[in-house]
A and B are shown apart, each in its own frame.
Chain A
């Protein structure tokens, strides 16, 4: 079941095309990574889904319904540029954000108490934001995003500005929300967090989607059939068939491309030549795939 689906979305600012014939579908209960360099169109896409700016053309569906104003109740949004009212007390602020999302006052109050307790902020509830440390303010910001228990959580560069300790706390909260059935779309240009968190990704470059799928299938497709072999050959005269990487104290490390064989056949062949210390397939990281794809798309 798709919680968010987008069909041939277009958006331009004057002569600048921000999104061109953009399609996207996000499955329920998954963490979906939106990758792309700065200026690729991620923020425009996110702002359109959040109904902050209007699309030029195309269709957007939330749970199968065409996007409308009532859907703000179902969406939680943490923009890249974020902040809070500095002079407002923590609980008043959270109450306000919950209410404009459509929560009733009593429900909102209960949820605020629970969240403040969960993130160890209870004794700060009557303090103004300006009296809080940056880390605490960031936690309040996160609560403000999820307080109305959205079905779809959209996080734009969620870890930027967070210190490592808080980033870890937030990461765990994101995973917990996913386990509760919340779908999370996170946009980032940092690849390291993507591989750890995301189930599915889409890559955007220059207003177009250049790749999407589950992390597994993307990596599967990006496989080069090249193996890294580490062995102590029986004879020092042994010359590997692939590119030699290292030779030290009788140990040899080299790359080997799989041709019309199965990995096991290759391994069997290697085992007859000496003692195998390591045999693994070289799989490019998401970052490498990303850079390769961008270069390909620029070459077009």
Chain B
């Protein structure tokens, strides 16, 4: 019995892995990632050489706002009139022209920025912030407070977030790293479910439309066939995924090495090798991230990822198999994709709107517990640290959810595979479900 499922798994797995297209997709996909990264770095580097520094003409009727040039912008001050300055912009000699009219510093109005192309939002925000702080100093001065005295009082506050566990352990938490892990893992699971779920559906449609199905189900039970297919294709996905991890690791370190950057793990290793402690003169932010990465429970994250990766795929894979069995061609499948896409989309949006924003909110909790959304949503929580009983509840429900979708899908599957040429809608599916 189990032997036959294994035969199906083996066939599904080998039929795909042996294809040339599998090899191509497996080798090319991970190259896209580092290539884009490399491209960005290359463009970014040539940007910072200075040639692309944007020159902004400033005409200040008050003669009191001096803006400091930086890597991105340089400011040129002149006695030019408004019209002449505009001309400079039109001729392309200046990126933009900032006009500051005579101002009432209690109620500054009428500052204008002229440019030939739409300025980046970050630039306007930057300019606003600089002018605002200048104006605040001017007003403080006007009310008799010495700006020097004030700057002496300026303090930089940096909150370090530490998570205290019940067992008394402490670890540093960094929401940027957590966010990145949750974001990546969630998207990976979402993509995996769709790509490989689709393959399950295509496979079922192939067997149905080429009329192999009746020969197959005279030798093994439809449920064995369905499960064999789902598991076999899942194994293809896992294989591809493992190869990718190896390749991405390899190629990324090559690319990073070429641009003189170092992988965080390498940096960490080198640093701890130097002193056994983090150097005091290191960039405090990087040090914090490194400490944070050290504080992460990688075993827990990897295990959880694998469980939800596989669990989520199995849960939805059964649905995809049922859809494939109900239709005659992929184009007919559209009408049944609704129940699959909606919960996945909810999970995906929930990940961004709720889970990554506040992993411990009520909405995040429920999204990470309900089996239809938990595979994507839980990955948004896991790097922030999830209590074991939440994980246990969520995983048990995921397993129960998978068993019930497989059971439901099996009922549709065993009838659907033998139905050709008739129009199947939700009403018909419901009738199939009710048959014993």
The answer on A and B forming one complex is: yes
The residues of A with any CB-CB pair to B shorter than 8 Å are 14, 47, 50-54, 69, 72, 75, 77-79, 81-88, 96-97, 99-101, 144-145
B15 and A144 contact, CB distance less than 8 A? no
The verdict on A53 contacting B219 (CB below 8 Å), with A82-B211, A100-B4 known, is: no
Closest beta carbon of chain A to B416's beta carbon, Å: 13
The verdict on A52 contacting B418 (CB below 8 Å), with A82-B215, A83-B211, A100-B220 known, is: yes
Closest beta carbon of chain B to A185's beta carbon, Å: 13
B214 and A52 contact, CB distance less than 8 A? yes
Instruction: Say which residue of B7, B15, B219 sits within 8 Å of A87 (CB atoms).
Output: B15
A85 and B210 contact, CB distance less than 8 A? yes
The verdict on A83 contacting B210 (CB below 8 Å), with A52-B418, A72-B218, A100-B219 known, is: yes
Which B residues are CB-close (under 8 A) to A78? 215
Q: Which of B11, B206, B215 has the most chain A CB within a 10 Å cutoff?
A: B215
- 18 residue pairs of the A-B complex, CB under 8 angstroms, read A47-B214, A52-B217, A69-B221, A72-B218, A75-B218, A78-B215, A81-B211, A81-B214, A81-B420, A82-B214, A82-B215, A83-B210, A83-B215, A84-B210, A85-B210, A85-B212, A97-B215, A100-B4
Closest beta carbon of chain B to A61's beta carbon, Å: 18
Instruction: Say which residue of A14, A51, A87, A99 sits within 8 Å of B218 (CB atoms).
Output: A51
Taken together as a complex, chains A and B put the C-alpha atoms of A140 and B218 apart, in Å, by 18
B212 and A83 contact, CB distance less than 8 A? yes
CB of B243 within 8 Å of the partner chain: no
Per-residue CB contact flags for chain B residues 213-257 toward chain A (1 = under 8 Å, else 0) read 011111111000000000000000000000000000000000000
CB proximity to A under 8 Å, residues B105-141 = none
Taken together as a complex, chains A and B put the C-alpha atoms of A51 and B220 apart, in Å, by 9
Which B residues are CB-close (under 8 A) to A101? 219
Taken together as a complex, chains A and B put the C-alpha atoms of A87 and B219 apart, in Å, by 21
A96 and B218 contact, CB distance less than 8 A? no
Taken together as a complex, chains A and B put the C-alpha atoms of A238 and B282 apart, in Å, by 131
Closest beta carbon of chain B to A104's beta carbon, Å: 11
Number of residue pairs A-B, CB distance < 8 angstroms = 60
Taken together as a complex, chains A and B put the C-alpha atoms of A217 and B216 apart, in Å, by 38
Taken together as a complex, chains A and B put the C-alpha atoms of A97 and B216 apart, in Å, by 8
Instruction: Say which residue of A51, A81, A96 sits within 8 Å of B11 (CB atoms).
Output: A96
A88 and B7 contact, CB distance less than 8 A? no
Taken together as a complex, chains A and B put the C-alpha atoms of A72 and B220 apart, in Å, by 8
Closest beta carbon of chain B to A24's beta carbon, Å: 18
Taken together as a complex, chains A and B put the C-alpha atoms of A69 and B4 apart, in Å, by 12
Closest beta carbon of chain B to A71's beta carbon, Å: 11
The verdict on A53 contacting B15 (CB below 8 Å), with A75-B218, A83-B210, A100-B220 known, is: no
The count of chain B contact residues (Cβ–Cβ below 8 Å) is 23
B221 and A79 contact, CB distance less than 8 A? no
| Main secondary structure on A side of the interface with B | loop
- Closest chain B residue to A156 by CB distance? B214
A79 and B210 contact, CB distance less than 8 A? no
The verdict on A53 contacting B418 (CB below 8 Å), with A83-B212, A84-B212, A100-B4 known, is: yes
Taken together as a complex, chains A and B put the C-alpha atoms of A96 and B12 apart, in Å, by 11
Which B residues are CB-close (under 8 A) to A87? 15, 19
- Closest chain B residue to A72 by CB distance? B219
Taken together as a complex, chains A and B put the C-alpha atoms of A249 and B418 apart, in Å, by 62
Which A residues are CB-close (under 8 A) to B219? 72, 97, 100-101
The verdict on A144 contacting B218 (CB below 8 Å), with A84-B210, A86-B210, A100-B4 known, is: no
A79 and B15 contact, CB distance less than 8 A? no
Taken together as a complex, chains A and B put the C-alpha atoms of A53 and B8 apart, in Å, by 20
Taken together as a complex, chains A and B put the C-alpha atoms of A83 and B420 apart, in Å, by 14
Which A residues are CB-close (under 8 A) to B418? 47, 52-53
Closest beta carbon of chain A to B216's beta carbon, Å: 7
Which A residues are CB-close (under 8 A) to B19? 87
Closest beta carbon of chain A to B48's beta carbon, Å: 51
Closest beta carbon of chain A to B205's beta carbon, Å: 13
Closest beta carbon of chain B to A270's beta carbon, Å: 57
- Closest chain B residue to A51 by CB distance? B218
Q: 9 shortest A-B CB distances, which residue pairs?
A: A83-B211, A83-B210, A79-B214, A50-B218, A81-B211, A100-B219, A77-B218, A83-B212, A52-B217
Taken together as a complex, chains A and B put the C-alpha atoms of A86 and B4 apart, in Å, by 21
Which A residues are CB-close (under 8 A) to B216? 100
Which B residues are CB-close (under 8 A) to A82? 211-212, 214-215
A144 and B215 contact, CB distance less than 8 A? yes
B218 and A52 contact, CB distance less than 8 A? yes
Instruction: Say which residue of B4, B218, B436 sits within 8 Å of A79 (CB atoms).
Output: B218
Taken together as a complex, chains A and B put the C-alpha atoms of A145 and B4 apart, in Å, by 17
Which A residues are CB-close (under 8 A) to B220? 72, 100
Taken together as a complex, chains A and B put the C-alpha atoms of A78 and B214 apart, in Å, by 9
Closest beta carbon of chain A to B159's beta carbon, Å: 59
Which B residues are CB-close (under 8 A) to A86? 210
B11 and A79 contact, CB distance less than 8 A? no
Taken together as a complex, chains A and B put the C-alpha atoms of A157 and B11 apart, in Å, by 29
A79 and B211 contact, CB distance less than 8 A? yes
